[in-house]
């Protein structure tokens, strides 16, 4: 599986994963799924989070759960949608919090590639999904793969900011070393939970204060 197309610095760190039995099984599973169903995102975009945010440039990690499962929505970056696609409810709440926190005007575009290009790793725990079936590719191996990516960041880097929104992300990030990194937790931005602690969390200003305090260029959210 050394022919996996993923950004080189990540490929180097994750190469053990590509030949691990769980990953080979996962690859077979996805191939079978594609014979019967539509699978999102498209093949070239599965590793988009890594391709758009090389290891050395990563400053902030946002952990999502699943890709969007609606047609045209998923493009490999958690919470993000391609240009021209209406921002889903969770992303709209993220934009509302940005407005409240740092007075950034609410964007009509839901494409967050400009975050990724500044060092924000927009990482879903599961990197594929069956069309219109949320959670359909969970517990097939992706979680192990994305844990390996988070572990590499945790161990090799310092002063990262991890934004863990919701119980799922908080559990996934539970092993992050809080002596080396800033871990910020809040409720998930979904309409079902956003007003239980996501709105008003001020994670965007806190992130930039932390980065600036460490001499790292803040994010232009």
Active-site residue 147, yes or no? Answer: no
Q: Rounded to an integer, what distance in angstroms lies between the CA atom of residue 44 and that of residue 193?
A: 32
Among 205, 40, 49, 187, which Cα is nearest to 115's? 49
User: Residues 90-96: contacts with CB within 8 Å, 24+ apart?
Assistant: 90/188, 90/189, 90/190, 90/191, 90/194, 91/189, 93/189, 93/190, 93/191, 93/194, 93/198, 93/199, 94/189, 96/199
Q: Rounded to an integer, what distance in angstroms lies between the CA atom of residue 185 and that of residue 176?
A: 12
- C-alpha triplet 67, 69, 168: angle, nearest 5°: 45
Q: Which one from 51, 66, 101, 177 is the annotated catalytic residue?
A: 66
Decide if 122 contacts 49 (C-beta within 8 A). Answer: yes
Decide if 145 contacts 17 (C-beta within 8 A). Answer: yes
Cβ-based neighbours of 171, under 8 Å, separated by 6 or more: none
Residues with a catalytic annotation lie at 66
């Amino acid at each position: 599986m050394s022919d996996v197309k993923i950004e080189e610095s990540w490929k180097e760190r994750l190469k053990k994963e590509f030949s691990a039995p769980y990953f080979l099984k996962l690859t077979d599973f996805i191939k079978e799924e594609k014979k019967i169903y539509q699978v999102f995102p498209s093949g070239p975009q599965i590793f988009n989070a890594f391709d758009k945010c090389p290891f050395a440039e990563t400053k902030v990690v946002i952990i999502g759960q699943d890709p969007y499962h609606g047609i045209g929505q998923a493009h490999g970056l958690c919470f993000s949608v391609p240009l021209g696609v209406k921002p889903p409810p969770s992303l709209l709440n993220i934009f509302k919090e940005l407005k409240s926190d740092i007075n950034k005007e609410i964007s009509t575009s839901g494409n967050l590639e400009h975050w990724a290009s500044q060092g924000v790793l927009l990482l879903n725990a599961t990197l594929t999904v069956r069309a219109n079936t949320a959670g359909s590719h969970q517990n097939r191996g992706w979680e192990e793969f994305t844990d390996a990516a988070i572990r590499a960041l945790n161990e090799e880097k310092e002063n990262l900011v991890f934004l863990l929104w919701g119980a799922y992300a908080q559990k996934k990030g539970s092993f992050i070393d809080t002596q080396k990194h800033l871990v910020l937790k809040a409720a998930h931005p979904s309409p079902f939970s956003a007003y239980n602690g996501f709105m008003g969390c001020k994670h965007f200003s806190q992130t930039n204060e932390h980065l600036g305090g460490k001499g790292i260029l803040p994010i232009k959210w």
